[in-house]
Amino acid sequence: MKIAFIGLGNMGGGMAANLVKAGHELRAFDLSPAALTKAAENGCIAQPDPQGAVRGACAVVSMLPNGVIVDDFYHTHVIGHAPGDAILIDCSTIDVATARRVAGDAADKGYIMVDAPVSGGIAAADGGTLTFMVGGSADGFARAQPVLSAMGKAVIHAGGAGAGQAAKICNNMLLGASMIATCEAFILAEKLGLDLQTFYDISSKASGQNWSMTSYCPVPGVGPQSPADNDYQGGFAAALMLKDLRLAMAAAADTGANVPMGTRAAELYEAFNISGQGSTDFSGIIKNLK
């Protein structure tokens, strides 16, 4: 299948490479010459302009930084330029309202578009083990599914347009709050004189158990290997956690949802980023909480 891939950064670079490995013909566009060169090394056909990438494509896949860029890119370069029967798949993490608006504008011109944000970081993008949460029609999901399957271990239909983004920000709001709560539990355990490995052994088998503890423990040397064991390098950058929490706060304000724990998590990640830790893993917030 001829696929246009837009946005070949940390995530998109590996995703495009996996589509090439699956036998697709990839026409890649990115504003960054370095990203394009790397994509070409991975078997993509680098395109000097966006229209060259989307012309003749059966599918357009994008992995861009934010909603403003996605909105502009689709309105300027995709809608009215890609073939009318191309499936449009935006995998970027953006706000629900923009996802719905762009999909609606695409539908007005006869296109089928889905939002398909991901869970999983750069390693999962490289390894083809992302989880995709897809928002769009049943037809859109059926058409996007084979493309997304080549880049992920799970592709789940979340509901109509914007539902993928909704699922993503709700999940990451829960993750942000649960990471902070897990850090706090270890901090208090230490103050109370508990051995942290012993506390882990108890809590990981008791009702406090959660993913931030048992799969991504913020304490070095405790639990399975995690960014904490590498001085909080790699993993999921705190700046991206803050981005997702801001999207969740905007969605909560739009809908009137009461999210006090999410609000506090957003405040604490704002402070963590202001302290200059935005590029470190989000579990590193334990250092600031201490």
Binding site for ligand NAD (CB under 6 A): 6-12, 29-32, 35, 63-65, 69, 73, 92-93, 118, 121-122, 236, 240, 243
**Element housing 18 (H / E):** helix 12-21
Please report how close the Cβ of residue 30 comes to ligand NAD at its closest, in angstroms: 4
Complex with ligand NAD: residue 17 or 189, whichever CB lies closer: 17
Complex with ligand NAD: residue 36 or 177, whichever CB lies closer: 36
Please report how close the Cβ of residue 285 comes to ligand NAD at its closest, in angstroms: 16
Here the tokens at position 7 are: 């946005």
- State whether the Cα torsion 100-240-53-49 is positive or negative: positive
Complex with ligand NAD: residue 101 or 190, whichever CB lies closer: 101
Please report how close the Cβ of residue 264 comes to ligand NAD at its closest, in angstroms: 22
- Specify the DSSP class assigned to residue 133: E
Tell me whether strands 118-119 and 59-62 are parallel, antiparallel or unpaired. unpaired
Degrees to nearest 5, angle at CA 153 with 136 and 201: 115
Active site residue 290: no
Burial class (CB in 10 A: 0-12, 13-18, 19+), 2: middle
Complex with ligand NAD: residue 222 or 249, whichever CB lies closer: 249
- Which residue out of 168, 191, 205, 243 is catalytically annotated? 168
Please report how close the Cβ of residue 147 comes to ligand NAD at its closest, in angstroms: 16
Q: What is the DSSP string of 87-131?
A: EEEE-S---HHHHHHHHHHHHHTT-EEEE--EES-HHHHHHT-EE
Q: Which residues are catalytic?
A: 168
